[in-house]
Structure 1
Amino acid sequence: ASPQLLLALLAGEGETDAAFRAESGGLLVPRLRLAPPMPLASAGDEALDQVPNGYFLVTGGTGGLGLLAALSLVARGAKGILLVSRRGAIDPQEAGLFDRLSGALQAQGGELHRLKADVADYESVSAMVRELPRLGLTADQRAEEGGSSPGLVGIVHAAQAPLGYLDLAQQSQSQFMAEYRVRALGAWNLHAATQ
Structure 2
Amino acid sequence: MIDSYRSIGEEVQAKVVRKKSRFIALCYPVSSIEQVETLLEQARHTYHDASHRCYAYRLLGDDAPIEYSSDAGEPAGSAGLPILQQIQKAGLYDVLVIVVRYFGGTKLGIGGLIHAYGDMAAEAITAARIVIKKQEIRLSLSFPPEISSAVMSLIHRHPARVEDVRYEQSAHVLVALPPSAIERFKRELMEATGARASWEERHD
Calculate the TM-score normalised by the size of structure 2. 0.26
Higher-RCO chain (CA-CA 8 Å, sequence separation at least 6): 2
By percentage of residues, which structure has more helix? 1
